[in-house]
Each structure stands twice: as structure tokens, then as C-alpha cells.
Structure 1
Amino acid sequence: MKNRDYANRKPAKGKGKTARRGKQAPAPRRFPVLLLLITVSLLGGFGYFLWSINDSAETTSPDVVEQPKKTVVKKDPNALPPKPKEEWTYQRELENKQVEVDIPEQTAPTRPYQMQCGSFRTQSQAEQMKAVIAFQGLSANVRKVKGTTGDWYKVSLGPYDRKRLAEKHRHILQGAGINGCIILYWEG
């Protein structure tokens, strides 16, 4: 059987899809005249309605009485009085106030914190991470740890007395694109 190239094949003249199947082409659709007439009549009716109510709002208002050159507005007996002017006194009252706050005593943390930013198989990768951290103005340590799968080189910062300082340094490193740092309790 011969291979056919269907993508580049041009159809033969006089032979369309319908000619091959033995069916006739469908008759062309007629323009919907009835739908056009209904649409035009509805739009005309809506336009006439708008034109007819155009001036009715000015003449049917019960509150306005027209006179030759004056317009008199009747006052509504059920109208609300004008809004009273508000006076704020709290600014004057708070000028000489004193607030007492109980500040708890500062307690030293029981355990300091450290931040680990990476764990690598080779020492050269750990030293590269340490150099990137040094460019941010922070000092990091690389220590070798024996694990169940071999030796690991961990890059860590700290110890920190307060977690707040560790969080601050982590945000500095996140700004430099180092996002994997975690804060842990320091094991000494």
C-alpha cells in the first residue's frame, strides 16, 4: 500500500466531503426577517416610551409649586433637623494623662539558638555557602558530622542568645536568596 501525505494533499476539484459520502450539501440559511421585525419594533417602542416620559418628572413633583418667575419649595413637616456639630474632647483630656505599664522582668533564655543554613556531602560546597553568607556581613561555621549515611558538612550561624536576632539574620539571608535556613536550639 502506498503511503499518503494527508497534510500536504490538495483536494480534487469537484469532490468535496459531501460528494464522497453521497450526501448533498445543506441549503444556505435564510436571513431571519421575522426576528429582525420583532427587534426593530421593540426598540422603537422602548424609544417612544423614553421620549414620552422625558418631561414628566419636572411637572409631576408635589414639592415644587411653579410661579411665573419664582420657584418656591415647600418644607416637609416630617423633615429631620440639621445634624448637630460634634465636639471632641478626648484630645484635651489625654494631653496630661499618664499610663502605667507593668513590664515583666527580663529573664535569660534557658537555651541559646543556632541557625542551620545547609548540610552538604562535600566540604567545598559548605565553604561556598559560608562565603555567600560572609558577603552578607555574617559569620558562619562549617562543622563535620558523622551520620548513618556518611560524613556531612553543616553550615550554621550562632549561637544566639535571643531568637529575635536569629530571625533578623535569617531575613538578611532571605534577601540574598538563601531560603533554607532553620532556627534550632543550640546543642553546644
Structure 2
Amino acid sequence: MPQKDYVRASRPKPANKGKSRPSSNRNSRAKAAPAKPWLLIGLTAVTLMVFVYGLWFLRQQTPVSTAPVTTAPTPAKTVVKDDLPPKPVAEPYQYIQELENKEITVELTEQRRSGPAQLQCGSFRQQPQAEAMKAQIAFAGITADVRRTEGTNGVWYRVILGPYESRRAATVDMNKLRQMGINTCQVRNWA
């Protein structure tokens, strides 16, 4: 049994669009095609002829004669050696010797050693608030005291840390407390 071409069979056949002679279309294509190679050959031949004429024209030009120009001989230039200027007999500036022989004295003042310091982390009107702050500080591993003070404004409960040997030691604990979220501490001189 012969095989059937299903793809070709499913395609619709092209319709003739009002032309009764499909063979005349083929003839017109065949007639137009040979004209293009003759046109290309003609353009190539013209270009080649223009190129050959240009070469012939350039060859026919008379060369311009250049007469040798004679100039007066120039005297030989003497080569000047770039020497340094002569050294001065005496140095006009004296600051070099002055700086070499000058002794500089610098006054060092001894740094005043700060005395003992303390940290005050809060001041409250009610004692339970001060005790709550003391508990928060205890979680950081630092001991604090609650001190009752009476002033012109009434009774205050202060949360105090220290005394420390120096302000630097107090600052170390203040930074630990800042890392814990307690930012209200201030370094004060212990008196």
C-alpha cells in the first residue's frame, strides 16, 4: 500500500487570484532576470575604465623639478655644558647652623590625676523606683546603692555606684550599663 502524505493533503491549494495563465508569470520572471547581470557587467567595465584613465593621467603629469637650495654654511654650534653655578664662599643664611645648635625645651606639666569618682544613674522621688533601677544595674553585675538625700526640693532617692579610683574606671562601668540599655548614668567627682 502506498504511503499517503498527510501534511500535503491537509494544506489548502493556492487559489488563482484572477489570473488565468500562470505560465505567463513564469516567462516574465525569466525575461527580467538576465537584465541584471548585463547592468552589473556594464558598471564594472565603466569603473575599470575610469580607474585606468586616472592612472594614465597621473603618469602624463610633468614632475616638478626642485632645484637644490644652497645655504650659507652655518658655523658649528659649541656644546654648552650645563654646569652648576659656583658654590658661594660664605653661606648667606645662618638658620642652618642655628637649627643644628639650638636646644629646644618643652615644658611638661604633669597630668593632674583625677581623684575618686562615682556614677549617679538616677534620682527618684519614690524609693521603689530607685530600687527597680538598682535591680536593673545588678543584672549587669555591678553593685549599686540607694541613698536618701534631703534638699530644698524635698526628699530624693539617688542610685549611686562607686566610689571608683578614677574617672576612667567609672567610665568603663558606665559603658557596660549603656550596652544594657541604661543611658542615664553620669560620672561625678566623689566628695
TM-score (norm. length: structure 1): 0.41
Which is greater in Rg?
Answer: 2
